[in-house]
Structure 1
Amino acid sequence: MIYPSGRAVWAAAAGAVPAFLAALALPSFWYLGLLWSCLLLAFLAVDAAAGCGRASLNASIDAPQQVGVGGEFSVHVAARNSGPRAAEARVGHDARLAPVSGSGGALQPTAGGGSLFLRFQALRRGVASFDRLWVRWRGPFGLVWNQVVLPVESKVAVLPDVSSARGEAITLLQHAALAEGHAQRRAGQGREFDALKDYQPGMGRRMIDWKRSARHGKLLAREFRIEENNNIVLAIDSGRLMCEPVDGVPKVDRAVTAALLSAFIALKGGDMVSLFGFDARPRVSSGAVRGPASFAMIQKRAAEIDYSSEETNFTLALTTLAARLDRRSLVIIFTDFVDPISAELMLRTVGRLTERHLVLFMMMKDTELEGLADMPPRSGEDVARAVVAGGLLRERQVVIGRLRLLGAHVIEADHSRLGPALVERYLQFKQEDLL
């Protein structure tokens, strides 16, 4: 694209007044007033032809692969061309990022091109992208701009800030008496065989290994330990209800933070963790990973769980998840519902899921409804709001009761305590050998 610069506009305006005065003074030579316009058009043509084209331009964007929510980072724009080096650039970005001091500027001359550093701030979780790059430069006379729009593809994973969550996770591990992040082995508990030992009075008869006892001529008992390779699935609902804010932060963001906290604990404890995100259909699915080094991958996949305005399809999501699980797993579902009618399909699917797996539902308390139900009745409208809110809360408890009857575990915690409550229940499951 080629268009006139500000200098060309001012030059045209400056020549219009003398041309008009010349036409008034010498009416028979009015065409002499067009000489300035013709001369200016000639310079514009030369300026446009002398500028380098798109074929001679090569530009790129260098951005970090991931950044925390609220953090600032630098983006490096590099352009190379065979024409004039004085150029300007501007980058196109999505709503997850905000420029700190503008999204463009003049390129600093370098060998063979120009360079520009821009500062951006990550506003919300997700995968942010830089999709376009505008580069423009003036011709030799500075009368026209030569501009090209280059498609680029640079993505930045905006992750939840888990620095404080990691410290809290370490504290919870210490309180649970976990040495170096691994569950302590407790004799007589668990299902994983550890060793043989002499049978002692008071041991259960089921612990006796009769074949080895017959071979050695004395009673030998099997000693077990708690398994450390349990399969943990973090299923996060990102549908319409989960995108509603709680204390200024969407529920799905709080669910992702709690899921990352529990993933950090589980990976430190030797268990395998996988992530599953869904709304109207499954969106994100990671394979099971193991070891603390895999936490970065879980973080990156969690950034792909986007906000959605669609209704959640529990039947499709949970059926797809169950088909992918080839062993007994702890399935942790972060979701929300309004009434028994909207949760009816979910209840049918959960009944089949609990037949093989240990299912735990994580939900946040609806502080807004609780506040309306407890509001002092100063007017008739307050009474009506309190009655409606109380009815919705009772229906919510009905759904929770039906989930528990189906064999699922349910935690309804305050949004600020969602992560710690999940970790405490997870450690309790391991201690009780329910995994």
Structure 2
Amino acid sequence: MKLYPTKRAVALAALGAPVALAVALAAPGFWGAAAAWMLMTAGLLLADALLAARPSQLALTLAAPGVMGLGRPEEASVEAAFTGPGPREIELALGVNARLVASPVRQRLTLGGGWGRASVSLTAQRRGDGRLEQVWARWRGPLGLMWLQRTETPDRAIAITPDVERVKEQALRLFSRDALFGLKAQMETGQGGDFHALRDFQTGMDLRAIDWKQSGRHGKLVAREFRTERNHHVILAIDTGRLMCAPTSSGPRVDQAINAALLLAFAGLKIGDRVGLFAFDAKPRVSSGVVAGAQAFPLIQRLAAGIDYSTEETNFTLGLTTLAGRLDRRALVVVFTDFADPTSAELMIENVGRLMRTHLVLFVVFRDEELEALADAEPVEADDVSRAVIAAGLLRQREIVIGRLQRLGAQLVDARAEDLGISLLNAYLDVKRRELI
């Protein structure tokens, strides 16, 4: 319990000073009036505190979500209930850690019968563990001279994950279209195709699909029908090093990479492939192994939520070598990373080349919109020309790295942050359609 005076009490005490001074100047024998005024004020403060509702009579109940998506506001509520006669109104405030923002910071709540509930909007700033650290409640006595305050420390944790709801919405919109590959049998033939059924040959079908032996048995032309091979291993390898965690105008690239990875994981598990998550910076941080079935998506989600931001340089040799050692069959490895120049990308290219001897690598890079804007901006002063030349040079170096990756045979997704998820999913479906795995 904490007690302190209100503005009204301070004004009441200050009001006695000029009155006491005037009395002392007019009649010095009545100097004790000043002391009497202070004693009267102190008595009123004490009486107000004694007449007010006791902090022990207040019960504060905090309700908040256990999980929330990054950038998607959620609502928490604080319920205040007095067991005896309570004040007409109460002020509430909710304290959170740096990963959360609470709005409003402080609010006044009118009570009815000693009970009331206040809503607080919570917005996540960064992934990780958000914490509701303290709840403050204060109210005034019946004379309005004293504040009584109660503080509780619920220390409630909220897991801040990528915006999974948006990921699911995107995936469900795509799954609602008949065009999504893998939801129905396809007439795709090839070395990796799974035999599905026999059907009567019809005009326009591929002649290579005719099964001559079965046609002879049935006395009519019969063709093989294939469907896309499933049960592939898809590994989502996310670089969480310094460059990927650096802030940009649309947020850290690692958050955008995780959102795109979750969209691909949701679609891949739905189609029937096996999906694994791997994250690394100076050393491996997360390794899930491969999981199957849509019911495994929450596991991938929880692991992705635990990927923290890093200031360390990425060790591609250790990360990709460790990943390759854990793969026991050919897989599609989706690498999310960023690079600054050909020199810093040299080790990355070397290790990606070794990985591609056994596996198919789908390389995901982010278009640097800031550099593109600087390079394309109309110059107004001399410094603008210098910026444009430097930006154009950096973009050319980036294209050199991309060209080397393509010559190695890596599949490439180069898209803006807002288009990354859809572009990645289209590339994944194209890989399956062409049976490259």
TM above 0.5: yes
Query: Does the CA contact (< 8 Å) of 1:328 and 1:357 recur in 2?
Result: yes
1:27 is displaced (CA, Å) by 1.6
1:69 is displaced (CA, Å) by 5.5
Q: Which runs of 5+ in 2 are unaligned?
A: 199-206, 210-223
- Confirm or deny that 1:170 pairs with 2:199: no
Query: Does the CA contact (< 8 Å) of 2:76 and 2:122 recur in 1?
Result: no
- Confirm or deny that 1:90 pairs with 2:116: no
Structure 1 residues 169 and 195 mapped into 2: Cα distance closer, same or farther (>3 Å)? closer
- Equivalent residue for 1:366, pick from 362, 365, 368: 368
- Equivalent residue for 2:415, pick from 413, 416, 422: 413
Structure 1 residues 39 and 337 mapped into 2: Cα distance closer, same or farther (>3 Å)? same
Distance in structure 1 (CA, Å) of the matches to 2:141 and 2:378: 72
- The AA in structure 2 aligned to 1:430 is K
1:121 is displaced (CA, Å) by 5.7
Where in structure 2 are the equivalents of 1:209-220 lying within 5 Å? Answer: none
Deviations 1:343-389 (A, max 9, x none): 23333443443344332210122244345556678887566545433
Structure 1 residues 29 and 373 mapped into 2: Cα distance closer, same or farther (>3 Å)? closer
- The AA in structure 2 aligned to 1:92 is G
Structure 1 residues 13 and 325 mapped into 2: Cα distance closer, same or farther (>3 Å)? farther
1:136 aligned residue: 138
- Confirm or deny that 1:44 pairs with 2:45: yes
- Confirm or deny that 1:424 pairs with 2:429: no
Structure 1 residues 36 and 314 mapped into 2: Cα distance closer, same or farther (>3 Å)? farther
Deviations 1:54-108 (A, max 9, x none): 76655342123445555443221124565663332101235555555x2232345
Deviations 1:157-205 (A, max 9, x none): 364333662355236x632553xx3664856643778799xxxx989xx
Which deviates more, 241-250 or 11-20?
241-250
Query: Does the CA contact (< 8 Å) of 1:182 and 1:270 recur in 2?
Result: no
Query: Does the CA contact (< 8 Å) of 1:124 and 1:158 recur in 2?
Result: no
Helix, strand or coil at the partner of 2:262: helix
Distance in structure 2 (CA, Å) of the matches to 1:401 and 1:313: 22
1:271 aligned residue: 273
Query: Does the CA contact (< 8 Å) of 1:125 and 1:303 recur in 2?
Result: no
Distance in structure 2 (CA, Å) of the matches to 1:84 and 1:281: 60
Structure 1 residues 107 and 384 mapped into 2: Cα distance closer, same or farther (>3 Å)? closer
- The AA in structure 2 aligned to 1:251 is R
1:45 is displaced (CA, Å) by 4.1
Distance in structure 2 (CA, Å) of the matches to 1:308 and 1:298: 20
What TM-score, normalized by structure 1, do the two folds share? 0.75
1:256 is displaced (CA, Å) by 3.0
Structure 1 residues 287 and 29 mapped into 2: Cα distance closer, same or farther (>3 Å)? farther
Distance in structure 1 (CA, Å) of the matches to 2:148 and 2:351: 60
Helix, strand or coil at the partner of 2:267: helix
Structure 1 residues 157 and 383 mapped into 2: Cα distance closer, same or farther (>3 Å)? closer
Distance in structure 2 (CA, Å) of the matches to 1:311 and 1:340: 16
1:34 is displaced (CA, Å) by 0.8
Structure 1 residues 52 and 355 mapped into 2: Cα distance closer, same or farther (>3 Å)? farther
Query: Does the CA contact (< 8 Å) of 2:185 and 2:226 recur in 1?
Result: no
Distance in structure 1 (CA, Å) of the matches to 2:322 and 2:143: 64
Q: Which runs of 5+ in 1 are unaligned?
A: 204-221
1:38 is displaced (CA, Å) by 1.7
Helix, strand or coil at the partner of 1:399: helix
- The AA in structure 2 aligned to 1:175 is A
1:237 aligned residue: 239
Distance in structure 2 (CA, Å) of the matches to 1:138 and 1:381: 60
- Confirm or deny that 1:337 pairs with 2:339: yes
2:202 aligned residue: none
Query: Does the CA contact (< 8 Å) of 2:77 and 2:120 recur in 1?
Result: no
1:15 aligned residue: 16
Query: Does the CA contact (< 8 Å) of 1:107 and 1:114 recur in 2?
Result: no
What TM-score, normalized by structure 2, do the two folds share? 0.75
Query: Does the CA contact (< 8 Å) of 2:58 and 2:82 recur in 1?
Result: yes
Deviations 1:378-434 (A, max 9, x none): 887566545433432333233334434555433323444422332222122223333
- Confirm or deny that 1:117 pairs with 2:121: no
Distance in structure 2 (CA, Å) of the matches to 1:264 and 1:184: 21
